[in-house]
A and B are shown apart, each in its own frame.
Chain A
Amino acid sequence: MAVLNITYGGLSADYPLDLDYALSDMDVRRIAVEVVRAGGVRGITAPTLGENAFDNFVVDRVGGNRIYLRPKVPFG
C-alpha cells in the first residue's frame, strides 16, 4: 500500500492508496482532486475544488511507498 501526502490550504495530510499498479503524475493529481473534494483527507476540506487545482503541484516520489503532492517552487 502506498501513502499519498497532500499539502493544500495550509495543511498536510496522508491518504492511503490501496493500489497495486504504478500511478502516473496525472493520475496522482486527479486522485488528489477527488479525495479532497470528497473530504477523504483528514483536515482538508474543499468540496468545490477545481479540476486543475493541482496542475502546478509536483508529484514527489522520494522512495518507499510515500508520494508527496506539493506545490512546485521554481522561479524563472
Chain B
Amino acid sequence: MIEVFFLIGKGDVILWSDVGANAGSLPDSRARWEAIWSNRDQIEELAHSHPMGPLAFSHEDTTTMEALEAALGRPLRFSVVAPGGIIVRQNGVDEIVRLMPASADINEGRSACGTPQEEPWWAALLRRASGF
C-alpha cells in the first residue's frame, strides 16, 4: 500500500496526482506545490489517502493545510480517504463521509447535519491506487 494525493478541480476533475514513498507519508514536494499553485484558480479539493488509517487528519496534514490556505489566501476543502470512509475539512469543520454499501445501515452514511453523503467518483480510484 502507498499514500496517494489527488488535486481535484471543478467538476470533480483530477488535475494532478502523485504518490508517496510508503503507506504512511507523502513527503514535501516542490512539484506538488507547483501543481497546486499553477492550478490555484481551479482547485476544489485536495485529497490524499491513509491506506492504513486513521480516518482523521494528522498533525502534519493540519499544519500543511494551514500553510496552503495562508499561501493561497482562501479557504480550501481537504479530504482523507481511509479504509473506513472519507473525512472532509472545510472552513475548519470536519465531516465524516462513510461508505454506503447497499446493505449498510443508512445511518452509516449520514453526515453531522443528517444528510446522506455520497462519495465522489474519484474516491474509489484513490483507494485502488493506494492499494486498499
Contacts and interface: CB of A to CB of B under 8 A. Distances in A.
Interface of A: 7-12, 53, 56-58, 60, 62, 70-76
Contacts of B61: 75-76
A7 to B, nearest CB: 5
B33 A74 contact: no
A7 B30 CA distance: 13
Given A70-B71, A73-B64, 10 more contacts: A8-B73, A10-B40, A53-B70, A57-B67, A62-B30, A71-B70, A73-B68, A74-B25, A75-B48, A76-B24
Contacts, number: 73
A45 to B, nearest CB: 12
Contact of A9 (B26, B66, B73): B73
Contacts of B24: 76
Nearest to A49: B70
B2 interface: no
